[in-house]
Structure 1
Amino acid sequence: MAANQKRAVFRSRLVPVLAALPQLLLIALFFYWPAVSVMNWAFTLEPAFGGAGERLFVGFDNFRAVFADDLYWSSVSISLIFSATATLATLVLALVLALCVDRQLKGSKAFRFFYIWPYALAGPAIGTAFLFVLSPERGLMAIVNAASPDFWNPARSGNQAMILIVTCFVWKWVGYAFIFMLAGLQSIPRSLLEAAAMDGSGPVRRALDIQIPLLSPTLFLLLVLILTESFVGKDTFGIVDRTTEGGPNNATNVMVYNIVNQAFRGLDYSGAAAQSLVLIGLIMVFTFVQFRFVERRVHYR
């Protein structure tokens, strides 16, 4: 069989280069060019009102201005709270759903199909939907507010606004995490679960002692992906921009929203570029910590 296999050989080097050229152009256009531009803006001062004027090199002045801004540090703390809450809630809820579906409960096949639908929706669309569903005047919460006025009003309460954007993010990403967790659970040998059941272990004990430890590589992967997405993802920006616009009183002004808002509404490209580099640095630190310390508890075999 191996003798009959033929290996493709390009006689000209031009053919593979032309085949890879579209992908290389996309990478250069949408990754390297923006990255170089951000590095340039972060250490220079943009001309007033944009334009093609000469940029002034200012060194680390943009970073000093960022670190001296109380609004920036507020956005950092808000991002940490949002990311930790949204990531933990997403993983826990997806794990519970995957465990329920993996047990082949009644209607589990139908639920398996519907759970993944929210991931197909864009962040702004989800924000718009929840903005109507949980509207304090016309949504489901209007019934609660009729009995207890202002019980739910994200436009006035920062904590409720945070709950709103966390709910939107979790509803979006729980389906994504669910797919990976269900695939991981179904790869666990059924003989282990059957043996534990014969020894008298209930569903919760089997999940804690067998399924979750064997699922640790998948959980670690999802932890890195979802935590990164909650910090810098387009869904985070889209949800915040559509639901709260960073309010009330900057209570949901997460870092990615603050950067985009400062760059395209405040026209401070240099300050936004400096914040972007700091955000990238934070993501690198968090990723290093996860791989350095959290991965020690991951069992790959």
Structure 2
Amino acid sequence: MEKRSVFKSAWLPVLFAAPQLLLIFVFFYWPVVAVINWAFTLEPPFGGAAEFVGFENFREVFSDPLYWNSVVVSVIFAVVGASCAILIGLVLALAVDRALPGSGFFRFLYILPFAVAGPAGGLAFRFILSPERGLAASLNQIYPDIWNPAKFGTHALILVIVIFVWKWAGYTFIFLLAGLQSVPKTLVEAAAMDGSGPIRRALDIQVPLLAPTLFFLVVTMMTEGFVGSDTFGIVHHTTAGGPNHATEVMVFRIVDEAFQGLNYSGASAQSIILIGLIMIFTFIQFRFIERRVHYK
């Protein structure tokens, strides 16, 4: 029979849980209530009494074409960034899972970028892929403006997506490699004995058995692409939303509206809309993708 701990005093477990409950209240529930309140009021930027305006902040947000541009940019960033990070992580995990010589070193090498902070990675790639020096400068001398993220919005969006994929591919690699370790080796060995090559074994046996892990990564990476701190850090330190709002993702626009434009009410309304958008994407993923996932 399993023994259970029993506290003689009812206040003792409350005291143990109080610090965690306090943190949750201060850093989660209190900000959520404040954001909801600001979204339906006109909050003065320099203090003072707030005025209730109902849905006026939401109407102002929806009528702004730049806001819809940030929605499109966020969707492109999240979908392309998450897909590429998962695909690259899967390829790397399949390669390392074969236990070739030196695979242990490559496991460490592939995980290493995830330890780098997003803003630091953004600054590094900003200089590495700068159009004025290095390989990009050589290409621009041959073909002028073939790569110039400071001038072309498409190039800037590609740049921030590349940085995001570079950092988060190591994260997906960790989970996919762990998932591959749970695939029965007997199935792979039997397929090899039947003459199946590495690619055929991966497509027919290993990848289908990774469906739960892949689904988890799709949900996680899509959420990270929309609201992750690295998403804001990469954009802020690399392009600052430019050029011409081409990389202005929703999370960057919210922070910029609140702390640069001092439009707390508009930023709060955008935050609620962003949460709703994430909920819609998550519902779609669980409704139409999870049904294809087999856990046994």
Using the size of structure 2 for normalisation, the TM-score is 0.97
Given the alignment of the two structures, is residue 31 of structure 1 paired with residue 28 of structure 2, yes or no?
Answer: yes
Structure 1 residue 140: Cα displacement: 3.2
In structure 1, C-alpha distance between the alignment counterparts of 2:141 and 2:49, rounded to whole Å: 59
Structure 1 residue 136: Cα displacement: 1.2
SS of residue matched to 1:116: helix
Given the alignment of the two structures, is residue 16 of structure 1 paired with residue 10 of structure 2, yes or no?
Answer: no
Partner in structure 2 of residue 60 of structure 1? 55
Deviation track 1:22-58 (CA, whole Å, cap 9, x = no partner) reads 11111111100110000000000012x321x111111
Q: For residues 119-158 of structure 1, what are the structure 2 equivalents within 5 Å?
A: 119-158=114-153
Q: For residues 177-216 of structure 1, what are the structure 2 equivalents within 5 Å?
A: 177-216=172-211
Could you tell me which amino acid in structure 2 is paired with residue 97 of structure 1?
A: L
SS of residue matched to 1:154: coil
- Equivalent of residue 217 in structure 2, options 200, 206, 222: 222
SS of residue matched to 2:22: helix
Given the alignment of the two structures, is residue 115 of structure 1 paired with residue 115 of structure 2, yes or no?
Answer: no
Partner in structure 1 of residue 46 of structure 2? 50
SS of residue matched to 2:134: coil
Partner in structure 2 of residue 231 of structure 1? 226
In structure 2, C-alpha distance between the alignment counterparts of 1:106 and 1:160, rounded to whole Å: 38
Partner in structure 2 of residue 293 of structure 1? 288
In structure 2, C-alpha distance between the alignment counterparts of 1:6 and 1:289, rounded to whole Å: 43
In structure 2, C-alpha distance between the alignment counterparts of 1:258 and 1:89, rounded to whole Å: 24
Structure 1 residue 142: Cα displacement: 2.0
- Equivalent of residue 38 in structure 2, options 38, 41, 46: 41
In structure 1, C-alpha distance between the alignment counterparts of 2:143 and 2:49, rounded to whole Å: 59
Given the alignment of the two structures, is residue 172 of structure 1 paired with residue 167 of structure 2, yes or no?
Answer: yes
Deviation track 1:115-163 (CA, whole Å, cap 9, x = no partner) reads 1111112111110110111111123322222333322110001111011
Cα RMSD after superposing both structures: 1.1
In structure 1, C-alpha distance between the alignment counterparts of 2:185 and 2:86, rounded to whole Å: 23
Partner in structure 1 of residue 77 of structure 2? 82
In structure 2, C-alpha distance between the alignment counterparts of 1:147 and 1:73, rounded to whole Å: 37
SS of residue matched to 1:150: coil
Deviation track 1:79-111 (CA, whole Å, cap 9, x = no partner) reads 111111101100110000000000112321110
Deviation track 1:225-265 (CA, whole Å, cap 9, x = no partner) reads 00000001110000000000111111111111111111110
Structure 1 residue 6: Cα displacement: 5.2
Using the size of structure 1 for normalisation, the TM-score is 0.96
Listed as ranges, the gaps of 5+ residues in structure 2 are none
Instruction: Count the aligned residue pairs.
Output: 296
In structure 2, C-alpha distance between the alignment counterparts of 1:276 and 1:8, rounded to whole Å: 43
